Chains A and B, each alone.
Chain A
Amino acid sequence: MTALGTGVAPGSTKPARTRRRPGKKLTFDKVSFFLVFLGVPVVFYLAFVVSPFVQAVYYSLTDWSGFSPEMNFVGISNYRTLLGDGTFMKSVGNSITLVIVLPVVTIVLSLVLASFVTVGGSSHGRIKGLRNSSFYRVISFFPYVVPAIIIGIMWQQIYDPSAGLLNGVLTRLGFQQFSSFPWLGDERTAMVATMFVIVWGFVGFYMVLFVAGIKGIPAELYEAARIDGAGRFRTMTRITIPMIRDNIQTAYIYMGILSLDAFVYMVAMNPGGGPNNSTLVMAQQLFSTAFTQGKFGLACAMGVVLAAITLTFAGLVFVVNWLTGGHEDITE
């Protein structure tokens, strides 16, 4: 303090600077607060989240069989095996197809529906949704209440070539060529049919999420846009989407991670990976490698690859959002 005061004339009103502000002092209160609220969670996190990760990475470098204590360190040979494994690479391809298609389709559909039930009503008079919109909102949420495994089994029954509801309806409508069409058993349709089920199961949920987002936008903004001449489509692209882009980003990441998994739906509808492995996904391949073939080391390597792809995906979404201006905080 004296050093600081040397240049100051005596009697100067300039306040003396203290080296350490009182708020920075480490008191018992602070230390105990940090220990309890930061230390304890970190310990738990390390023990139950980080260590299994590290463990999995380690096992992926071994030939562990899962049910014996012996294992040999084999370096990156498991990863080499994966690269040369056509079935696994096919499953990676399928997973990537899912992560590209599912979030886009689901989010676009649910955004459109959410717009319709909130602001898509008559273009004249107050801003409101379509007539009976609350009814549609409830109905569309139903699939989300049904457990994934039930959805899978149910749709497997619907898609059944001879006894299924879908082919029954189609033949009744006169499309005789579908009388015994194997939707899940034909390489051309298996993946699309499966994706449809997942989209069907999640559209309602994301719709509710977006409805909540849209309800948070001041009605005057929509009124101003309406007076400015924006129709339904332009209102959605110019007002709704920019205003709820955080919700959309979150939804995109959730749906993407879910698509990279998709295990339950795939196992329920096509346990064997579909015709010519056309619906085989990484999680399925990982499961069978570990628990059927007993190659835990290799399965761990698959898990690491899956984690890497998931992280890359999330990173991509963030980067894209940032590049398109999402980092600007527009709230007042």
Chain B
Amino acid sequence: MATVTFDEATRVYPGSDTPAVDKLNIDIEDGEFLVLVGPSGCGKSTSLRMLAGLEEVNDGRILIGERDVTDLSPKDRDVAMVFQNYALYPHMSVADNMGFALKIAGKPKDEIRKRVQEAAKILDLEAYLDRKPKALSGGQRQRVAMGRAIVRQPQVFLMDEPLSNLDAKLRVQTRTQIASLQRRLGVTTVYVTHDQVEAMTMGDRVAVLKDGILQQCASPREMYDHPNNVFVAGFIGSPAMNLLDVPVVDGGVKFGNTALPIPRDHLAEAGSRAIVGARPEDLTLSDDGTGLAVTVDVVEELGADAYIYGTSKTESGEDAQIIARVDGRTPPEKGAQIHLTPKPAHLHLFNAGSGERISV
């Protein structure tokens, strides 16, 4: 068990000018579950592979504990990895798959058997130890891949989208299992996913990457309540936050036919325009016709709640999609004209040019 530190770690692929991972700085605490999340091509997998030693580090350093592992080969890093396609050795039985690393390390047979048995018990794989991976279901294979990592008792677990090959129901189940297993074992874990729900539900902290650049690294709650910039605001949360480009007026920003009051020094930061963000659950239907005028396109009824998907004409005449959560018992009709106002306490304000958060 150890801390993990990315210190200005950079990876530039040969033949490319822009770095795939650009000066990444993350400090991961001992026993922490960190999730790297972002859209495809954001450099999250590359970062993980750099930590595993499967990808070179062009600049900066990577440390595991106090050890600089930047130039160490993977076998000397004491990390275990779970791959997206599991990468089980097809010619070996489940037990041999799990015990492979110990066998390579020259551990005595009794110890290997004992540790494999223990891991198999944790993962409910005892009945399948003699089977070949081919004879296992997707979920079982996933557990074998986890088992292979657990048996090692490494300093760090690396997981590269380990759930994306499972069906939706199993994914939700396994998600919880992995998270609780990690808490129980207390091994520092770096987990890569493109699914922000996975990121929010599993991680102690979440790091959002975009185009190789770290956007924000914070706890799920913090990330949800105080996104650093427009990208994080739009990426985290489902359905996504409503983001509107609005003009700044005296003492606030314009929101439909009303002005939302904003403290003056914050407005000074914004300039003449700003981006206002409000989560679907922070928009309320107004009775008096004030707020943003929205035409309802689709109403998604979920029982307790309903999501309204509507469009609103912006200042420039374009259609902006607006999503709002309303009470499930009395949702507006499709095609209705409604007005929405945000809860002032949960309003987000971003700089229209840089997209950076203006603290509200």
Contacts and interface: CB of A to CB of B under 8 A. Distances in A.
A332 interface: yes
A224 B73 contact: no
A124 B74 contact: yes
Contacts of A7: none
B101 A228 contact: yes
A223 B83 contact: yes
A147 interface: no
Contacts of A271: none
A223 B89 contact: no
B81 A229 contact: no
B174 to A, nearest CB: 19
Contacts of B128: none
B90 A332 contact: yes
A227 B81 contact: yes
A328 B132 contact: yes
B129 to A, nearest CB: 16
B104 A230 contact: yes
A328 B75 CA distance: 30
B90 A227 contact: no
Given A126-B56, A234-B104, A328-B132, A223 B73 contact: no
B105 A229 contact: yes
Interface in B35-84: 52-56, 71-75, 77, 79-81, 83-84
B89 A227 contact: no
B203 to A, nearest CB: 22
A123 B56 contact: no
Contacts of A231: 75
Residues of B in contact with A, size category:
20 to 34
B264 interface: no
A126 B148 CA distance: 21
Interface string B145-167: 00010001000000000000000
A4 interface: no
B290 interface: no
B54 A229 contact: no
B150 to A, nearest CB: 13
Contacts of B75: 123, 226-231
Contacts of A227: 52-54, 74-75, 77, 79-81, 101
A221 B72 CA distance: 20
Contacts of B309: none
Given A223-B81, A328-B132, A242 B74 contact: no
Contacts of A13: none
A225 to B, nearest CB: 8
B100 A126 contact: no
Residues of A in contact with B, size category:
20 to 34
B121 interface: no
Contacts of A223: 52, 54, 74, 81, 83, 87
A224 B81 CA distance: 7
B104 A330 contact: no
A229 B90 contact: no
Contacts of A329: 134
Interface in A185-235: 218, 220-221, 223-231, 234
B85 interface: yes
A104 interface: no
B54 A226 contact: yes
A125 B53 contact: yes
Contacts of A243: 90-91
A221 B73 contact: no
Contacts of A125: 53-56
B74 A239 contact: no
Contact of A229 (B83, B91, B104, B148): B104
A68 interface: no
A224 B85 CA distance: 11
A123 B76 CA distance: 10
B134 A126 contact: no
A126 B54 contact: yes
Interface in A218-265: 218, 220-221, 223-231, 234, 238-239, 242-243
Contact of A124 (B56, B84, B104, B134): B56
A18 interface: no
A331 interface: yes
Contacts of A220: 83-85, 87
Contact of B89 (A127, A224, A332): A224
B74 A218 contact: no
Interface in B99-126: 100-101, 104-105
Contacts of B54: 125-127, 223, 226-227
Nearest to B145: A224
A126 B85 contact: no
B117 to A, nearest CB: 19
A331 B105 contact: no
A123 B81 CA distance: 16
Contact of B73 (A218, A226, A242): A226
Which one of A218, A220, A228, A229 has the highest number of Cβ atoms from chain B below 10 Å of its Cβ?
A: A228
Given A126-B56, A218-B87, A224-B89, 5 more contacts: A123-B74, A224-B87, A226-B74, A228-B152, A230-B104
Interface of A: 123-127, 218, 220-221, 223-231, 234, 238-239, 242-243, 325, 328-332
13 contacts: A124-B71, A124-B74, A218-B85, A220-B87, A221-B89, A224-B83, A225-B100, A228-B152, A229-B105, A230-B75, A230-B100, A329-B134, A332-B133
